[in-house]
Amino acid sequence: MNNALISNDILVIGNGMVGHHFVEQLRQQNTALSIRVLSGEPRLAYDRVHLSEYFQGKSADELALTTEAHYESLNIQFSTEAWVETIDRKQKCVRCTDGREYHYQKLILATGSYPFVPPIPGNDQAHCLVYRTIEDLEAIEASAKVSRIGVVVGGGLLGLEAANALKEAGLQTHVVEFAPQLMAVQLDSAGGDVLKDKIQALGVTVHTQKATQKIVKGTQARYRMEFADGTHLDTDMILFSAGIRPSDALARAYDIEIGERGGIVIDDHCLSSDKNIYAIGECALWQNRIFGLVAPGYAMARTVVAHILGHNERFKGADMSTKLKLMGVEVGSIGDAHASTSGAQVYTYENQPKGIYKKMVVEPNQNKLIGAVLVGDTSDYDTLLQYTLNAIDLPEFPESLILPNNGDNSVQLAGDALPDNASICSCHNVSKGDIISAIDTGQSSLSEVKSCTKASTGCGGCAALLKNVVDLELEKRGVEINNHICEHFAYSRQELFHMAQVEGIQDFDTLLEKHGTGLGCDVCKPAAASIFASLYNAFILKNEHIGLQDTNDTFLGNMQKDGTYSVVPRVPAGEITPQQLILIGEVARDYKLYTKITGGQRIDLFGANVQDLPDIWQRLLDGGFETGHAYAKSLRTVKSCVGSTWCRYGVQDSVSAAINIEHRYKGLRSPHKLKMAVSGCTRECAEAQSKDVGVIATEKGWNLYVCGNGGMKPRHADLFATDLDYDTLIRYIDRFLAFYIKTADRLQRTSVWMENMDGGLAYLQDVIINDSLGINASLEAHMQSIVQSYQCEWRSVVESTQARKRFRQFVNSDAGDNNQLFVEERGQLRPATAQEKAQNISIVESL
């Protein structure tokens, strides 16, 4: 064993979310200090906030916040499974259980917390688990496979997250809580009751005021929980999530000051009683408080970075307000939710049929808001939070802040009413002033501000307020905030779509005459063509539509750099017969086309001359192929693995599902290209989570993901709905695509469309799943009309003598282009480079 002392400027014990945030913040501000991280877990930092998504198909890698390669690129040394057992404060070094020793100048304790397991007899048996780490999730998953019923002990925020995990794992789920209500820290009793009713309506049974006396062998299940009131509950698995305790044992063992009830005592700089040792996150005790949320931990991390670098930033506590969605139920808690302030006054609103409860707590003089509770509807959260954090005077009728908006009578707080130090994004500590500074330095759009500041990239709860602030600040600088499609139409694409739909407009001249000016341009003409195709699915090469199309659409193929075209026949889900493969080979051979298998599981044929396109298409059509729409802003491919048909891991027939989906949406014209995929199990060989629409098989059905993409700015898709039967899956995709086509901007990908949408994923789920706008019937009808009116555009050309006339190199001649020269390389032809043409080196005769 090599016990050599390894020297570091900064040594961090713990690599949870807070420890990782500290490392990244320090490295961003200083590239010279040496940094070493010791992680007790077998992996580097991951997202504990979204742990329950592991049971919705997210892998450990997808939950990861960093990678070994990323740390190496930042010159950060690290070790996993590195358990520290001693601290030598005098020599300033630590010793791990494997004998390795590390010297430090400054030591950061980011050891986090551990789950509290009540001292109940029988709590140490198999299938009695905790919910804290990915290894815990793996144990829960293994237990769930041999269990039918699961119980969570603890009805707080973490307990309900754990209950969601059991529900996602397919267990009959119960929650047992000692207190008389759920989430007793964040909610008042009325809010707790509403939350209980809504969660029980989702199939989770809640038992409050239950004290478990012991866990014994069950008769109807593996165990029986016996309660103090004489009742009992049978279960196969017990998951303890009854709170956390600070992981302070290491500090306690080496005489670092510990609070009376635990936690490493820190000052305003997050220094412990040893002035070379800091503590941050859930292990730290500041003014006798432990902060159990990630945002305060991040604030501590930034405070320590500032202090190490010689700045005077202080930790001033943290707002513990929170907005979240538990099993689909919206919950918000702000400030003094229990109205514990002397003389506080309360406004309440409750809608029992809809399961909505709202409460505002105001100062005795009713001028300031000091707390709030929201259950079932958190749409007012951003406004109420800003009133509380910034001590803004309440409006004349404060109740208007929580009453339903039945017109224009609600009071919403605009961004210009906030001071520059107002916190917009608490996850990343972004103030209104930070946003203004970003705009001042040239960030001129919402997406650029997000990228620069990271605002709204955490929980996303501040999205609406962020957009409001950005729009207002841009307007102040004379930047016109409009979504006009171009100078010829003072309307957005969505508005033009609506006009064409409502008024039955099917050609550009009519649209321009009624709603535009001038002659149109290369922006509005293709956009209008796309709208008409999305609405009516008319042949795009009809006389009234030809002049609107981009070059690729005009010739139903992608123009290449040398003026030739590519031909891409549709191969649904990548399934192709041997005879079809032979046909593609014969066509490529006969027309001397370069062939390449694409990433979307089909075959690209390059180098076709325009005059040959109809003949090529005819041969492919005769062999059972049709256009793959590779040239269009439409569905490109539905990628698939082999699924349960062949794969021993597959749980559903992903090939059949992908083929059916591709045939359903083939030719659907949209604001931007669409890609989809279907995977037969969570091993995800079809890469569905990087697609606009991704489908992953589960043992109970299908999980639906939306709004992912590759390209220049890759984006991971978001989980939209779980364990859907096939018919429901198709209904949701129908609605999603129709809503996207109806509301997206020109050339806007689904990912950007959702990110710019107020409410983001939650809003989209509300529209598509809950029909909050009352439009799902019309969305489904629209999609069905598109499906039924499909036509293969290649066939429409080859069957039309008039249409065929367009496919000539020259208007007055059937001759080809002699300037198209090729070079043979690796057994195929490719376009000659300019240098090769000039030197006439190994040129193959033009085709």
pLDDT at residue 847 in the model: 46
- Does a structural domain hold residue 82? yes
Half-sphere exposure in the Cβ direction for 362 (13 Å, CA): 21
The predicted model gives 9-16 an average pLDDT of 96
Range of 330's domain?
319-413
3-class secondary-structure state, position 111 = coil
Kindly indicate the confidence band of residue 825, based on its pLDDT and cuts at 50, 70 and 90: confident
Tokens at residue 543, please? 């006389």
In 3D space, the residue among 467, 497, 471 whose CA is nearest the CA of residue 485 turns out to be 497
408 or 6, higher pLDDT: 6
16 or 293, higher pLDDT: 16
pLDDT at residue 520 in the model: 87
Do residue 510 and residue 467 come from a single domain?
no
Do residue 784 and residue 645 come from a single domain?
yes
Residue carrying the six token digits 């005021």: 209
> Has residue 206 got a pLDDT over 70?
yes
Kindly indicate the confidence band of residue 828, based on its pLDDT and cuts at 50, 70 and 90: confident
Do residue 198 and residue 237 come from a single domain?
yes
CB neighbours (10 Å) of residue 449? 25
> Has residue 580 got a pLDDT over 90?
yes
pLDDT at residue 312 in the model: 87
Do residue 301 and residue 252 come from a single domain?
yes
CB neighbours (10 Å) of residue 377? 18
259 or 825, higher pLDDT: 259
> Has residue 579 got a pLDDT over 50?
yes
Kindly indicate the confidence band of residue 116, based on its pLDDT and cuts at 50, 70 and 90: very high
Q: What CATH number is associated with residue 178?
A: 3.50.50.60
**Strand duo 356-362 + 345-351: pairing:** antiparallel
- Does a structural domain hold residue 583? no
Which of 156-170, 495-509, 710-724, 812-826 is predicted least confidently?
Answer: 812-826
pLDDT at residue 795 in the model: 94
Which residue, of 734, 758, 788, is where some domain finishes?
788
How many domains, the chain?
Answer: 6
Which of 253-257, 665-669, 709-713 is predicted least confidently?
Answer: 709-713
In 3D space, the residue among 72, 9, 73 whose CA is nearest the CA of residue 35 turns out to be 9
Do residue 528 and residue 505 come from a single domain?
yes
Do residue 237 and residue 270 come from a single domain?
no
pLDDT at residue 58 in the model: 76
pLDDT at residue 458 in the model: 61
Rounded mean pLDDT of the chain?
88
Do residue 366 and residue 422 come from a single domain?
no
Q: Report the amino acid identity of residue 13.
A: I
CB neighbours (10 Å) of residue 490? 13
> Has residue 758 got a pLDDT over 80?
no
Which residue, of 549, 571, 594, is where some domain finishes?
549
> Has residue 139 got a pLDDT over 60?
yes
CA distance 71 to 55: 28
pLDDT at residue 570 in the model: 94
196 or 170, higher pLDDT: 196
- Does a structural domain hold residue 103? yes
Contact 556, 797 (CB under 8 A): yes
Which residue, of 788, 814, 839, is where some domain finishes?
788
DSSP track, 282-311: GGEEETTB---SHHHHHHHHHHHHHHHTT-
Do residue 238 and residue 253 come from a single domain?
no
Contact 220, 232 (CB under 8 A): no
> Has residue 480 got a pLDDT over 90?
no
Do residue 183 and residue 220 come from a single domain?
yes
Portion of the chain with pLDDT greater than 90, in percent? 59
**Strand duo 149-153 + 237-240: pairing:** parallel
The predicted model gives 39-44 an average pLDDT of 94
The predicted model gives 614-630 an average pLDDT of 94
pLDDT at residue 181 in the model: 94
Kindly indicate the confidence band of residue 846, based on its pLDDT and cuts at 50, 70 and 90: very low
Do residue 188 and residue 326 come from a single domain?
no
Do residue 108 and residue 252 come from a single domain?
yes
Which of 389-393, 405-409, 435-439, 756-760 is predicted least confidently?
Answer: 405-409
Degrees to nearest 5, angle at CA 114 with 238 and 232: 20
Q: What CATH number is associated with residue 470?
A: 1.10.10.1100
Kindly indicate the confidence band of residue 1, based on its pLDDT and cuts at 50, 70 and 90: very low
Which of 21-30, 91-100, 424-433, 832-841 is predicted least confidently?
Answer: 832-841
> Which residues 6+ apart lie within 8 Å of 142 measured at CB?
none
- Does a structural domain hold residue 813? no
- Does a structural domain hold residue 446? yes
- Does a structural domain hold residue 555? no
> Has residue 494 got a pLDDT over 90?
no
The predicted model gives 305-324 an average pLDDT of 89
The predicted model gives 470-492 an average pLDDT of 79
Degrees to nearest 5, angle at CA 769 with 767 and 773: 30
Which of 548-557, 666-675, 691-700 is predicted least confidently?
Answer: 548-557
Kindly indicate the confidence band of residue 822, based on its pLDDT and cuts at 50, 70 and 90: confident
Express each pLDDT in 762-797 by its tens digit. Answer: 889 999 999 988 999 999 999 999 999 999 999 999
Residue 734: Cβ-neighbour burial (10 angstroms; 0-12, 13-18, 19+): buried
Q: Averaging pLDDT over each range in 154-168, 316-330, 400-414, 636-650, which range is the top one?
A: 636-650
pLDDT at residue 840 in the model: 61
pLDDT at residue 816 in the model: 62
- Does a structural domain hold residue 575? no
- Does a structural domain hold residue 802? no
Do residue 63 and residue 94 come from a single domain?
yes
3-class secondary-structure state, position 226 = strand
Residue 833 DSSP symbol: P
> Has residue 320 got a pLDDT over 80?
yes
Q: What CATH number is associated with residue 396?
A: 3.30.390.30
> Has residue 222 got a pLDDT over 90?
yes
The predicted model gives 508-517 an average pLDDT of 91
